Amino acid sequence: MSITAEDQKKYFSDWSKDNLGEKTGIWYAPFLENLGKLFKDFSLDNGRDYFTNFFNYRSFEEFKNIYLDITQQPESDVPVILKGINKRYPNSFNEINIKWLEKYSQMTFTEGNRSKPDNLGGIPALGVLLRAYLKFLYYAENPSLTYPKKDKKTSTHDGEIDESINYWVCAPGGDAGLWNEFYNSNVIGLGWDYLGDLEQYSSRAEIEKLMSEHRNDGTRPINDSKAVWEFYQEIKPGDIVYAKEGVKKIVGRGVVTGEYYFDNHARVLKHRRKINWTNNGSWNLKEQIAMKTLTNINRKPDFIAYIDSLINGEVIDENSLIVNEFKTWLSQQVQQSGEHLNDKTIAQKVSSLKDIENTFHVTVFGEIDTEALKNIKETVLADESYDRYKGVSGSSIDYYIRYVESRPTIKENEPYTVSDFLSEVFIDGEQLNRLRSVLQNKKNLILKGAPGVGKTYIADRLAYLMMEEKDDSRIQMIQFHQSYSYEDFIEGFRPKADSDGFELKQGPFVKFARKAERDPERDYFFIIDEINRGNMSKIFGELMMLIETEKRGKSINLLYSNEKFLVPSNLYLIGMMNTADRSLALLDYALRRRFSFFEISPAFDNSTFKDYLNNIGNPAKVLTVIDEVKKLNKVISEELGTGFQIGHSYFVGEAFKKDANNRTEEVVEYEIIPQLYEYWFDDETKADEWAARLRGAYYAN
């Protein structure tokens, strides 16, 4: 019995649903059914005589030739495409694809079926459409073979996101100041003009070196050099670019049509690419996007689909946005076996959560209070009459809790610059440059020093400086102690808060690392106070290897959950050591080599500290005491070591601004002198002598 075009359409729809995405077959089929006619109507056929209905092509070899003829793709790419690996289209085909989208949009607008002629919603990219049918024919003729991505297909936005191209968000100048010029000229531009034509550079390292020399602040311009290199080498014709204004508005959408060039005649932003701007307007986003000049957003298919929906004037269902984002996140999770969750498992977990919402009249999707979610889980598991999703409801809520905990927070924050740092931290510019460089290169840094030298404050401000903004959502601080363990830090079984038994809980490091992993374009900082008070090998466990710079991004299975876990490259560790604490054991040498160590010394002679003293009002007594402390520190350094000196932070704080004399007496009598008796516990005469000298310095004025 011969197969009709209608039969072929059904077979294609069924195969696509199972292999490409649940909605893909139903969506693509009507386009393929009329593709030959549309080609002729849109003048895309180049005089060739294609079947009006592409479902009349039944042979893989026959259609392969049609595919190669239309796309101009090399035949050597076909076996790769059939394995589900995305290959870029030739530049000539990108122009055809743009024309296809514009013509189809205009046609349906004229017919009254589209809100506006530049609304591209619901139109599949031509290349994606052709590849889908090519794959179907191949696997239909080879039923013993399985499409490699069958169980790894994206579970949301089936076919909406063209995985063969990149999607970018780019700022057309500060506050989109050059947007109108770029739109009218069909270009996009990038700054750092002093670099000149990028064709002269063979690597990103060369660009970064010149940028470092230009900045002259000792800092590696990692993000800036990344943006320049991506604009030069990673953006390709066919890519989609969204132009942004600030951090909460999109002003345009376009398709890249040309290669990189340097426009020496342009006023600013001389690094250029030709682009076909398909949309121009103003669309406010529901949440902020990264402040970076250029950002690749391929890892956020939900965000891409959301922006397109805004631009196309579609009604936005907030709940669907959350559900789809959760489904995408689930598709990226790795199981104990090393495999990603498949579509069936993802659909089951989402259905479970929706059923819980309906049955128990609670909100799961959109809930950000993890304690409330845990209470919902307890309620569901305690209800013996609820058995529809009994086997997966608990784990489904656990996944959603982890999704909420690891979701990055993006908001507009107060900027933080080198000047800000140097105005409130008592180290000089040269020290700062070295400090930043060490942390950037090693990623793991321990600030060591005497009590009161401001190690914790420096760590906090250093994180601000490297982020270039005061974003506390990207900083996590904890403190180690002698009883701190792997179970506290990574994961372990803990008693349930309001019932009998134990439950497996993730520690702060795992939660924070997963949050950083979801936000690779921005840096995160995990700060550990009193880092050498804990048993480091015991606390870090198998993660001792993963924190190494060269091991970032590699995953291992965690001890209790057996889940895959990695430490992302954008996560920095900063520890603090109080070198005067006699009770501390030496750091494990295996862990020691994984950190750089930077000593923070008393900064009594720092110019910023001196300015601070002069501004507190009536500083005479304070200055006299500090002079005596500096003499004391020389003796301490000679007899006990530099790590036992008295730090400058003893003389910093709001209390000094209110009553410097009274606060100085309190610090001397109740903080510094008791410390001296600890230092010279075996030589009380020495402690008595220096206590008398400090009191004498105070009462001298």
What is the tens place of the pLDDT at every residue in 610-632?
Answer: 888 888 876 888 899 999 999 99
Q: What are the C-alpha distances in Å from 578 to residues 334, 533, 554, 641?
A: 39, 9, 32, 13
pLDDT surpassing 60 at residue 452:
yes
In three-state form (DSSP H/G/I as H, E/B as E, the rest C), the secondary structure along 173-230 is CHHHCCHHHHHHHCEEEECCHHHCCHHHCCCHHHHHHHHHHHHCCCCCCHHHHHHHHH
Pair 606, 425: CB distance under 8 Å: no
Pair 677, 663: CB distance under 8 Å: no
Q: pLDDT-derived band of residue 638, with 50, 70 and 90 as boundaries?
A: very high
Dist CA 438 CA 392 (whole Å): 46
So what's the pLDDT on residue 150?
Answer: 55
DSSP one-letter string for 549-594: GGGTT-EEE-TTT--EEE--TTEEEEEEEETT-TTPPPPPHHHHTT
What is the tens place of the pLDDT at every residue in 512-521?
Answer: 999 999 888 8
Give start and end residues of each alpha helix (H) in 416-568. Answer: 418-424, 429-442, 455-467, 486-489, 508-517, 536-540, 543-546
So what's the pLDDT on residue 365?
Answer: 92
Q: pLDDT-derived band of residue 218, with 50, 70 and 90 as boundaries?
A: low
So what's the pLDDT on residue 583?
Answer: 46
The residue type at 78: V
Cα 233 to the center of its chain, rounded Å: 21
Q: pLDDT-derived band of residue 588, with 50, 70 and 90 as boundaries?
A: low
pLDDT surpassing 70 at residue 356:
yes
What is the tens place of the pLDDT at every residue in 84-140?
Answer: 888 888 888 988 988 999 999 999 999 998 888 888 888 888 999 999 999 999 999
Q: pLDDT-derived band of residue 552, with 50, 70 and 90 as boundaries?
A: very high
Q: What are the C-alpha distances in Å from 395 to residues 157, 333, 366, 542?
A: 24, 13, 18, 25
Mean pLDDT to the nearest integer, 660-687: 90
Q: pLDDT-derived band of residue 475, with 50, 70 and 90 as boundaries?
A: very high
What is the tens place of the pLDDT at every residue in 372-419?
Answer: 998 999 889 888 888 888 778 888 999 999 999 888 887 778 889 899
The pair phi, psi for residue 190, each rounded to 5°, is -135, 150
The residue extents of the domains of the chain are: 5-141, 167-316, 323-405, 418-600, 607-699
What is the tens place of the pLDDT at every residue in 65-77?
Answer: 999 999 999 999 9
End-to-end CA distance of the chain: 111
Q: What are the C-alpha distances in Å from 349 to residues 133, 151, 367, 577?
A: 30, 16, 16, 45
The residues that bridge with 578 in the sheet, in sequence order, are 449
So what's the pLDDT on residue 254?
Answer: 94
* SS3 at position 478: strand
Residues above pLDDT 90, as percent of the chain: 52
| CATH placement of domain 418-600 | 3.40.50.300
The pair phi, psi for residue 656, each rounded to 5°, is -70, -35
The pTM (predicted TM-score) of the whole model is: 0.82
| CATH placement of domain 167-316 | 3.10.590
Cα 566 to the center of its chain, rounded Å: 14
Mean pLDDT to the nearest integer, 244-251: 92
So what's the pLDDT on residue 516?
Answer: 93
Average pLDDT taken over every residue of the chain: 88
Pair 20, 159: CB distance under 8 Å: yes
Q: Which residues, including other chains, have CB under 8 Å from residue 622's CB and lie 6 or more apart?
A: 613, 616, 651, 656, 660, 661, 664
Q: Which residues, including other chains, have CB under 8 Å from residue 334's CB and lie 6 or more apart?
A: 340, 555, 563, 564
DSSP one-letter string for 352-399: HHHHHHHHHT---TT---HHHHHHHHHHHHH-TT--TTTTTHHHHHHH
Dist CA 570 CA 523 (whole Å): 5
* Neighbouring C-alpha atoms within 13 Å toward the C-beta of 451: 14
Neighbours of 312 (CB within 10 A): 20
Higher pLDDT, 334 or 567: 567
Q: Which helix (H) or strand (E) holds 444?
A: strand 444-449
pLDDT surpassing 80 at residue 216:
no
Q: Which residues, including other chains, have CB under 8 Å from residue 81's CB and lie 6 or more apart?
A: 73, 87, 131, 134, 135
For 452, left (φ over 0), alpha (ψ -120 to 50), or beta? left
Mean pLDDT to the nearest integer, 538-562: 88
Pair 485, 536: CB distance under 8 Å: no
Q: What are the C-alpha distances in Å from 444 to residues 201, 476, 593?
A: 31, 15, 10
Tokens for 559? 């001890």
